[in-house]
Amino acid sequence: MSAANDTSETSLWSSNTVPAWLAYDLSAVPASEREQVVVAWYAPLAVDYINAAPISASSEIPIDYTIDVNMAPSVDAAPSTGWTTLVSVTGNNRNSRQHLVNLAGANWIRLHATRSSNSTSIAIEMDVHSAPVGDSDGWLFMGDSITDWSVHLLSDVPSRVNTLSPSRWPAVIGAASTGGSTTGSALNVIDDVLAGFPGRFVALCYGTYDANDINFTNNLETLILKVIAAGKVPVIPHVPWSDVPAQQTKTPPLNARIDALCTKYPAARRGPDLYAAFSGRTDLIPSGGVLPNEAGDQEMRRLWAASMTPDTSPISMSVSPNPTTLAPYGTVQLTATVLGTTNTAVTWSVQEGTGGGTVSTTGLYKAPSVPITYHVIAKSKADPTQTAIATIIVSTAASSPPTSTSVSITVSPLTKVTTLGNTVQYKATVTGSSNTAVTWSILEGAAGGSIDVNGKYTAPITAGKYHVVAASKADSTKSVTATIDVSASTQWVTVNLTPATKTITVDNTLQFTAAVSATINTAVTWSIQEGAAGGTISSSGLYTPATEGVFHVVATSVANPAKADTSTITVTPSLKYVAVSVSPATTTAAPSTYVQFAATVTGSTNTAVTWKVQEGSAGGTVSTTGYYKAPATAGTYHVVATSKANTAKTAVATIVVAP
């Protein structure tokens, strides 16, 4: 069991039987830390974060499992009865999960797997994190192969953070990355990824493989909005430097776009500046390459750990509008934004007490008669140590105490039609007060676009009807709302086809997905560049090959037929004819002696195999090259060679171990 929760990134717990369970005795942990916790498990033998069915047996992922607790006292062995199930999962397809549960002081916790991707074995690591304010230090990394190779599953990033900040050990899912991924392919999976992740931070590490800055900006903005809408914090690093001239030309504009988006969306957090850190460092990124070497991977993890460390507070807060100016007796509706917890409730108070005005439980503040500066405090109910303060400037210059008829406001244009990402300049006219300033906002929040203090509105990249609000600073009860219709101009339409490249056998099919952005019409027409000779593709994107060769699937936007994307498919011979044989097929050996086995694979150019002993460690051991060591105990044992080209094809050698 110790291998499942030690500080090593390479050890893990495994069982050669399924069902199987892994239990921890938590009785030595203070009772105050045995309340709300995050249970994080990882299956490092699985390469992909989300795995398509059928899931490879070699991944040893728990598919059906429960998280259970037990109040029994500490003993030498886990209790056999008295378990209460807190979480029940069926059909899991991820190689790592985080579950937020309440132990209610329980002494024991276990993961009980009743089904694995491998019918006879399972291999995981499991951590339990105290989380009194939720999964506030849970991280998930999405990105391309640079991220996948550096911040991989069970990397040393958590221990590096712990070294810098001893009170923290973040729960990190570093495997939601795929080689060659772009912001376009990320759009295909972001909803599924977010739906299964209870943590706080989502790192969006893209750009190296994105084709141009227009698509990159639109796609990344959509990803940011989706993360924010899920109540999480997007973290965006600069695209790394690489020793490829074309990349060096392309990357700085992409990083400028990242900076602009982080400014536009204050809820987003900047990650490490990977361009500046690696610039010119061919000792970390080899000449002519984009992928870091081993030293570069270590530097990447060091930079991420340093970037993750400053935010030790699990909850972040802000209040808007802030600051604001009111006339004596004026009112303003304050809004508190709370990130890092599902409990977003706050308590309101005035720092100067009753002399500083009043604030309701909903944040409606009324100024007093004395014209000085006051402060309204919003305090998190989830963590009362976390607060945000709004500065209220009460000034007679704002206006006299308003009456219901003294101030009026108009906005131009009152109605407008624009296109995705376009800008519109609004103008507000205030009468009835010498204070003609207004506060601009968007009724739909960030999803409806953005507007600056001067009334310059920037449309979102999602079409729809939105509302711009101008509220008088002299009398915040007086406002006017303008309606803006954002239509999808086909000029900015982009099509991203997934997968971009793939190799399949001639007797297989392949499902393609087309992500169309910058238009409400996301339909595409499917075709094969080589015509019928290249196979067929259905209206839903299901490709069926006709023969072996290299072919191209094309998805063309219906909204703008000039915009399309192409995927390359390599069709190889069928694997149904793969066969495996092992030599020697039968042999004898003395206890603790060695036998060299050889496997022959026919019917495929991939002749690699995996080796295992059918009886497990009791039957001896076998290396990756087929070098078998007999056990000390006499008996009949079996060495199994499994084709990597077709894991359904195996061969078994019999070994009789006798003195």
What CATH number has the domain spanning 579-657?
2.60.40.1080
Average pLDDT over residues 481-510: 83
Fold entry, domain 135-312: Rossmann fold (3.40.50)
Helix or strand holding residue 260 (H, E)? helix 245-264
The predicted pLDDT at position 635 comes to 95
pLDDT over threshold 70, residue 325 = yes
pLDDT over threshold 90, residue 488 = no
423-434 burial: b if 16+ Cβ within 10 Å, else e: ebebebebebbe
pLDDT over threshold 90, residue 378 = no
> pLDDT confidence of 314, banded at 50, 70, 90?
low
pLDDT over threshold 70, residue 205 = yes
Under 8 Å CB-to-CB from 472, ≥6 apart: which residues?
407, 409, 430, 433, 435, 437, 438, 478, 479
pLDDT over threshold 70, residue 594 = yes
Cβ neighbours of 502 (radius 10 Å): 15
Average pLDDT over residues 96-117: 92
Mean pLDDT score across all residues of the chain: 86
Of the ranges 145-159, 402-416, 626-640, the best mean pLDDT one: 626-640
Alpha-helical (H) ranges within 392-531 are: none
pLDDT over threshold 50, residue 402 = no
Homologous superfamily assigned to 408-487: Immunoglobulins (2.60.40.10)
Q: Do 203 and 274 contact (CB within 8 A), yes or no? A: no
443 vs 459: CA distance, rounded Å: 13
Region at 464 (left for phi over 0; alpha for psi -120 to 50; beta for the rest): left
The predicted pLDDT at position 9 comes to 52
621 vs 534: CA distance, rounded Å: 46
Pick the CATH number of 1-131 from 2.60.40.10, 2.60.120.260, 3.30.1330.60, 1.10.150.120: 2.60.120.260
Average pLDDT over residues 255-263: 88
The predicted pLDDT at position 404 comes to 41
The predicted pLDDT at position 10 comes to 57
The predicted pLDDT at position 50 comes to 85
> pLDDT confidence of 492, banded at 50, 70, 90?
low
> pLDDT confidence of 4, banded at 50, 70, 90?
low
Query: Dihedral angle at the C-alpha atoms of 174, 179, 184, 190, nearest 10 degrees?
Result: -30
pLDDT over threshold 70, residue 398 = no
Give residue limits of the domains in the chain.
Answer: 1-131, 135-312, 316-394, 408-487, 491-572, 579-657
> Whole-model pTM?
0.50
Under 8 Å CB-to-CB from 415, ≥6 apart: which residues?
482, 483, 484, 485
The predicted pLDDT at position 606 comes to 85
The predicted pLDDT at position 345 comes to 87
Topology alike, domains 135-312 and 579-657: no
**3-state secondary structure labels for all residues of 328-359:** CCCEEECEEEEECCCCCCEEEEECCHHHHCEE
Q: Do 426 and 438 contact (CB within 8 A), yes or no? A: no
Average pLDDT over residues 299-321: 76
The class of domain 491-572 in CATH terms is mainly beta
Complete edge-to-edge strand list for the sheet that includes strand 346-350:
324-326, 387-394, 373-380, 346-350
Fold entry, domain 316-394: Immunoglobulin-like (2.60.40)
Average pLDDT over residues 374-382: 84
